[in-house]
């Protein structure tokens, strides 16, 4: 196979840095020409994070939304790593390949076999280690144990313990007689972000304490250069976040029960030379250097769109990190564009075929509806004593959409208030968006035993859920149809859940699609593209007879905008097949679903299978939460800045 001259990047970089002035021999230095002497060991540290199963070839929508270049994914990364290993061998250097966690969740390719195909690919890449990320718990600790057995590299987790399986804590790598110590750190916030069953039986140790323990253990083994694989993330706008942290930090006890980032870890823990970060998709071309401890932090963009590369120089006699070099003019991240690196052809073909087979969804078989066990009468919730009327009507399908703004906004107050309102409204389906804590969401659902739910599994920013009444809706199946390419959906692929609605022997297929489209910035263009993609997807389903469609959620756009200023064109131009039920009320400022603007952003769209039912005495309304809670200020403080919208379809034939 013909190889592109990737090594040219490094020759150019070497020429540039040779003309730079000398620096002090300290970790804070960049390249110094004396590092090329035998006194120093050169290591090419390659790193990835938040791969999210995105190793198939893809389009770089984030680079050019109109004409996106091609990304080679895992096949291009394979070529790149192979070239670097060849170059390192030729110059007597070493290569270390590390990953910052969140390996498989996020695409059908990664999720279909619970991460096995991703581990197999990482084995071919010859990774040295990875850390157990938050989303590795998608299928529980038992699955992590199986993935670790399959892997030719350790999945590290120094602060994780369970009776079922306790991960390897650290790793010592010896290169030409020089020892490097590597430890893995998972975020103790993991249980809050997932459903309780996913982290059942797992104890998460406090990150700062664990890091200090690991540094001592590794130094006792003779490793004087310490690398942390730390899944605590580097936040967006790292400079502002760090400045705010330093201004407000008073005492380390503040960190015993709060979410911390790698910026804070580096500031508070002395002795870590470099952190390979994972847990957020905020990539940074230049390393962060803590001003107090001089710890370096590197973090790439997610989704296998790039690979990180930083050159480390280790003093052979002391085993300490003397300096580092950024190999590219922009820094340490290399975008895997096929214009810059040719994908390995065999691997590219294999990954493309795998993605196609795992992304395909055929016609749904509604005859296989699964009836959930129906609980008895629920305990009447009345902590808040809200006077909320029941909207349950015989032979009506009651469907509501509700953006809950960082649920739970006020912790236990939000949980109990929302549960009480939902129970009293008594709708058949609630499509909710902006779930910040799945753990807290599950606690709320325990208060509503008459309902079951399905949540997103492949979102990278907030979750959606479809909550349904078990007595009238039988579960058929679920899908996140745009998980393989979710850029236009802002990292929140829509959740589709299929049911059979049954009342008095009448059985009707119903497909609910819950979405939360992009807001702000370049949101308009991304909404236009996502709506067009959704229209194409649903139109193909209609060709197979799937006409009973209800799409609802936060569309982040108004129906009464005109021309290029709104994103609904694909559906508005197809009135024979689709109709916005919210069109009836979208122009009424009193019905605004987002009163703070005021605007109407939360819509319900129906397919032609429900046109007759909608015209047969059905209703659509924004629910008067202000009346129930006493004031808008109270509602916004406890629950959300969006109001729920309810549609009641008359299913009488």
The residue-averaged pLDDT of 263-284 equals 96
Helices 116-125/345-359 angle, 10° precision: 170
Residue 19 has pLDDT above 50, yes or no: no
All residues at 6 or more sequence positions from 236 whose CB lies less than 8 Å from its CB, including other chains: 280, 282
- Distance from C-alpha of 444 to C-alpha of 410, rounded to nearest angstrom: 13
User: Residue 299 in contact with residue 50, Cβ under 8 Å?
Assistant: no
- Distance from C-alpha of 169 to C-alpha of 472, rounded to nearest angstrom: 49
All residues at 6 or more sequence positions from 520 whose CB lies less than 8 Å from its CB, including other chains: none
Q: Is the whole model's pTM more than 0.85, yes or no?
A: yes
Task: Output b/e per residue, 198-215; b: 16+ Cβ within 10 A.
Answer: bbeebebbebbebbebbb
User: Alpha carbon of 433 to those of 50, 310, 461, 465: distances in Å?
Assistant: 23, 39, 11, 7
pLDDT at residue 570 in the model? 96
User: Residue 305 in contact with residue 48, Cβ under 8 Å?
Assistant: no
Q: Which residue has the tokens 């936040």?
A: 235
All residues at 6 or more sequence positions from 437 whose CB lies less than 8 Å from its CB, including other chains: 192, 193, 407, 408
User: Alpha carbon of 30 to those of 93, 263, 284, 305, 649: distances in Å?
Assistant: 18, 20, 17, 26, 66
pLDDT at residue 552 in the model? 98
Domain ranges of the chain: 24-357, 395-650
- Distance from C-alpha of 216 to C-alpha of 271, rounded to nearest angstrom: 9
Tell which wins on pLDDT, 234 or 563.
234
pLDDT in tens, 643-653: 999 999 999 86
The residue-averaged pLDDT of 287-308 equals 96
Average pLDDT, the chain: 92
Residue 158 has pLDDT above 60, yes or no: yes
Question: In a 3-state reduction of DSSP, which class is residue 608?
Answer: helix
User: Which tokens belong to 144?
Assistant: 């992590």
Question: In a 3-state reduction of DSSP, which class is residue 570?
Answer: helix
Q: How confident is the model at residue 642 (pLDDT cuts 50, 70, 90)?
A: very high
7 membership: H or E segment, kind and range: helix 7-18
Which of 93-107, 338-352, 559-573 is the least confident region?
559-573
Residues of the chain above pLDDT 70, percent: 93
For the chain, report the end-to-end CA distance as a whole number of angstroms. Answer: 65
Residue 619 has pLDDT above 70, yes or no: yes
Fold type of domain 395-650:
Deoxyribonuclease I; Chain A (3.60.10)
Residue 2 has pLDDT above 50, yes or no: no
The residue-averaged pLDDT of 330-359 equals 92
User: Residue 320 in contact with residue 274, Cβ under 8 Å?
Assistant: no
pLDDT at residue 364 in the model? 87
- Distance from C-alpha of 411 to C-alpha of 437, rounded to nearest angstrom: 10
309 membership: H or E segment, kind and range: strand 306-315
The DSSP-derived string for 233-256 is ---SSHHHHHHHHHHH---GGGGT
Cis peptide before 408 (omega within 30 of 0): yes
User: Residue 167 in contact with residue 144, Cβ under 8 Å?
Assistant: yes
- Distance from C-alpha of 602 to C-alpha of 593, rounded to nearest angstrom: 6
Which of 59-63, 214-218, 508-512 is the least confident region?
59-63
pLDDT at residue 11 in the model? 39
User: Residue 115 in contact with residue 149, Cβ under 8 Å?
Assistant: no
Q: Tell me which residue of 122, 209, 204 sits closest to 166, measured CA to CA.
A: 204
- Distance from C-alpha of 530 to C-alpha of 527, rounded to nearest angstrom: 5
The residue-averaged pLDDT of 408-435 equals 98
Q: Tell me which residue of 48, 8, 43, 14 sits closest to 323, measured CA to CA.
A: 43
Which of 58-72, 165-179, 202-216, 318-332 is the least confident region?
58-72
The strand pairing partners of 129, in sequence order, are 98
Residue 49 has pLDDT above 90, yes or no: yes
All residues at 6 or more sequence positions from 348 whose CB lies less than 8 Å from its CB, including other chains: 57, 72, 73, 75, 76
pLDDT at residue 126 in the model? 98
Q: How confident is the model at residue 504 (pLDDT cuts 50, 70, 90)?
A: confident
Residue 374 has pLDDT above 50, yes or no: yes
User: Residue 345 in contact with residue 76, Cβ under 8 Å?
Assistant: no
pLDDT in tens, 539-573: 999 999 999 999 999 999 999 887 778 899 999 99
Q: Tell me which residue of 247, 248, 295, 287 sits closest to 269, measured CA to CA.
A: 295
- Distance from C-alpha of 137 to C-alpha of 134, rounded to nearest angstrom: 6
pLDDT at residue 360 in the model? 61
Tell which wins on pLDDT, 373 or 510.
510
Q: Tell me which residue of 251, 42, 48, 62 sits closest to 130, measured CA to CA.
A: 48
pLDDT at residue 13 in the model? 41
Fold type of domain 24-357:
Purple Acid Phosphatase; chain A, domain 2 (3.60.21)
pLDDT at residue 256 in the model? 66
User: Alpha carbon of 462 to those of 109, 306, 436, 487, 490: distances in Å?
Assistant: 21, 23, 6, 14, 10
Q: Which among 237-251, 421-435, 482-496 has the top mean pLDDT?
A: 421-435
Indicate the length of the chain as a whole number: 653
User: Residue 150 in contact with residue 122, Cβ under 8 Å?
Assistant: no
According to DSSP H, which parts of 321-402 are helical? 345-359
All residues at 6 or more sequence positions from 521 whose CB lies less than 8 Å from its CB, including other chains: none
The residue-averaged pLDDT of 108-136 equals 97
The residue-averaged pLDDT of 171-185 equals 98
Q: Beta 429-435 vs 463-469: how paired, if at all?
A: antiparallel
- Distance from C-alpha of 228 to C-alpha of 232, rounded to nearest angstrom: 11
The residue-averaged pLDDT of 313-319 equals 97
Q: Which among 158-172, 239-253, 344-358, 480-494 has the top mean pLDDT?
A: 158-172
Q: How confident is the model at residue 3 (pLDDT cuts 50, 70, 90)?
A: very low
pLDDT at residue 31 in the model? 79
User: Residue 270 in contact with residue 207, Cβ under 8 Å?
Assistant: no
Q: Tell me which residue of 412, 439, 442 sits closest to 194, measured CA to CA.
A: 439
- Distance from C-alpha of 582 to C-alpha of 605, rounded to nearest angstrom: 7
Q: Tell me which residue of 416, 465, 410, 417 sits closest to 438, measured CA to CA.
A: 465
Question: In a 3-state reduction of DSSP, which class is residue 378?
Answer: coil
User: Residue 218 in contact with residue 263, Cβ under 8 Å?
Assistant: no
Q: Tell me which residue of 567, 607, 604 sits closest to 583, measured CA to CA.
A: 604
- DSSP state at residue 120: H
The residue-averaged pLDDT of 400-423 equals 97
pLDDT in tens, 525-543: 999 999 999 999 999 999 9
- Distance from C-alpha of 355 to C-alpha of 60, rounded to nearest angstrom: 17
pLDDT at residue 254 in the model? 64
Q: How confident is the model at residue 424 (pLDDT cuts 50, 70, 90)?
A: very high
User: Which tokens belong to 597?
Assistant: 């603007």
């Amino acid at each position: 196979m013909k190889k592109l001259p990737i090594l040219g990047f490094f020759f150019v970089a070497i020429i540039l840095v040779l003309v730079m002035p000398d620096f002090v021999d300290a970790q804070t230095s960049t390249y110094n020409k004396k590092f090329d002497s035998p006194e120093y060991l050169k290591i090419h540290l390659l790193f990835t994070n938040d791969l999210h199963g995105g190793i198939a070839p893809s389009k770089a929508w984030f680079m050019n939304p109109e004409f996106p270049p091609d990304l080679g994914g895992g096949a291009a990364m394979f070529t790149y790593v192979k070239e670097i290993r060849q170059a390192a061998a030729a110059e007597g250097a070493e290569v270390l390949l590390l990953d910052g966690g969140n390996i498989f969740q996020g695409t059908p390719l990664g999720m279909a076999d619970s991460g096995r195909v991703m581990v197999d690919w990482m084995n071919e890449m010859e990774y040295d280690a990875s850390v157990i990320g938050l989303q590795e718990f998608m299928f529980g600790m038992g699955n992590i144990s199986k993935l670790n057995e399959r892997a030719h590299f350790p999945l590290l987790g120094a602060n994780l313990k369970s009776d079922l399986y306790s991960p390897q804590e650290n790793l010592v790598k010896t290169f030409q007689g020089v020892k490097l110590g590597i430890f893995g750190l998972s975020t103790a916030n993991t249980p809050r972000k997932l459903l309780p069953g996913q982290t059942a039986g797992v104890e998460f140790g406090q990150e700062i304490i664990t890091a200090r323990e690991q540094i001592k253990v590794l130094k006792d083994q003779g490793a004087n250069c310490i690398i942390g694989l730390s899944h605590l993330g580097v936040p967006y706008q790292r400079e502002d976040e760090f400045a705010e942290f330093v201004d407000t930090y008073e005492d380390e006890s503040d960190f015993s029960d709060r979410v911390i980032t790698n910026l804070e870890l580096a500031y508070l823990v002395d002795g870590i030379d470099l952190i390979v970060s994972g847990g957020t998709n905020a990539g940074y071309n230049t390393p962060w250097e803590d001003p107090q401890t001089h710890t370096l932090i590197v973090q790439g963009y997610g989704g296998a769109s790039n690979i990180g590369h930083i050159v480390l120089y280790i003093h052979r006699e002391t085993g300490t990190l003397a300096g580092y070099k950024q190999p590219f003019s922009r820094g340490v991240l290399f975008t895997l564009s096929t214009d810059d690196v040719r994908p390995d052809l065999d691997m590219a073909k294999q990954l493309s075929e795998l993605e196609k087979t795992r992304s395909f969804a055929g016609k749904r078989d509604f005859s296989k509806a699964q009836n959930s066990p129906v609980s008895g009468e629920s305990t009447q919730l009345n902590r808040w004593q809200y006077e909320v009327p029941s909207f349950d009507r015989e032979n009506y399908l009651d469907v509501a959409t509700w953006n809950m703004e960082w649920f739970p906004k006020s912790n236990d107050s939000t949980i109990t208030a929302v549960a009480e309102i939902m129970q009293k409204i008594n709708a058949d389906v609630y499509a909710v968006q902006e779930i910040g804590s799945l753990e807290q969401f599950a606690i709320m659902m325990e208060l509503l035993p008459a309902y079951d739910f399905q949540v997103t599994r492949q979102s990278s920013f907030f979750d959606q859920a479809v909550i349904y009444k078990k007595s009238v809706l039988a579960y058929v199946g679920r899908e996140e149809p745009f998980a393989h390419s979710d850029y236009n959906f802002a990292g929140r692929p829509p959740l589709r859940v299929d049911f059979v609605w049954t009342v008095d022997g009448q059985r009707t297929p119903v497909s609910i699609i819950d979405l939360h489209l992009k807001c702000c910035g370049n949101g308009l263009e991304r909404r236009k593209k996502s709506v067009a993609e959704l229209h194409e997807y649903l139109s193909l389903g209609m060709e197979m007879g799937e006409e009973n469609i209800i799409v609802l959620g936060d569309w982040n756009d108004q129906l009464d905008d005109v021309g290029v200023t709104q994103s609904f064109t694909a559906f508005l131009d197809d009135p024979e097949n689709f109709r916005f039920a919210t069109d009836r009320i979208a122009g009424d400022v009193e019905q605004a679903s987002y009163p703070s603007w005021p605007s109407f952003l939360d819509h319900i769209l129906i397919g032609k299978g429900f046109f007759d039912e909608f015209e047969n005495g059905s209703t659509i309304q924004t629910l008067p939460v202000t009346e129930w809670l006493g004031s808008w200020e109270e509602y916004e403080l406890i629950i959300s800045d969006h109001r729920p919208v309810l549609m009641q379809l008359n299913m009488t034939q």
